[in-house]
């Protein structure tokens, strides 16, 4: 029952994100590509770069949106982990308090979250706004096999569909 509720909420989020649509999608200038099954993220990053409308970043905390092949608790936990790491980097670069002053957050550390990556999506890809976590865009495009040429062709199809939606052309 819980799985069905998660599936329904994920589907509704994708539909709502698509309905809010291309106006938000057109604001995306930078993306971070999450690791995906069979190294598909590498092929996708390469094809996204060639699109010319989006810059692919290696630092998720600086990206407008996140490309992923999986939504749900593991994805949310990974986003939380990335945001915490970004906050820690900022705190480390901030001036240290002088002797006698105490930092409010000093000594407070969150335990690392363990996130299983055993289960991955099976051909559905999502572009998620990093800050609001709204699904801005999604597509289903299954790779016929896991050969490099097939993965590259599928990445090309995914990016082609994204490019159409960026430019406002109907499918």
- Rounded to whole angstroms, how far apart are CA atoms 30 and 38? 23
DSSP state of 136: E
Q: Average pLDDT of 138-167?
A: 92
- Rounded to whole angstroms, how far apart are CA atoms 68 and 136? 12
Residue % of the chain over a pLDDT of 90: 41
pTM for the whole structure: 0.69
Residues forming beta bridges with residue 31, ordered by sequence position:
56, 65
Residue 73 C-beta-side C-alpha neighbours within 13 Å: 9
Q: Average pLDDT of 28-55?
A: 92
DSSP state of 158: H
Helix (H/G/I), strand (E/B), else coil: 64? coil
- pLDDT of the residue at 84: 87
Q: Average pLDDT of 33-60?
A: 92
């Amino acid at each position: 029952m819980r799985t069905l509720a998660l599936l329904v909420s994920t589907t509704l989020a994708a539909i709502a994100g698509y309905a809010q649509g291309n106006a938000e999608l057109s604001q995306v200038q930078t993306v971070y590509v999450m690791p995906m099954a069979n190294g598909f993220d590498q092929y996708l990053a390469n094809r996204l770069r060639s699109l010319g409308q989006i810059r692919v970043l290696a630092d998720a905390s600086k990206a407008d949106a996140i490309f992923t092949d999986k939504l749900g608790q593991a994805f949310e936990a990974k986003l939380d982990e990335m945001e915490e790491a970004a906050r820690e980097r900022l705190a480390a670069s901030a001036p240290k308090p002088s002797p006698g002053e105490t930092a409010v957050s000093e000594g407070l550390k969150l335990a690392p979250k363990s996130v299983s990556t055993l289960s991955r999506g099976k051909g559905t890809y999502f572009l998620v706004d990093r800050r609001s976590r709204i699904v801005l865009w999604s597509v289903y495009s299954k790779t016929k096999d896991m050969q490099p040429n097939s993965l590259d062709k599928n990445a090309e199809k995914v990016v082609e569909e994204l490019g159409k939606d960026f430019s406002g052309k109907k499918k």
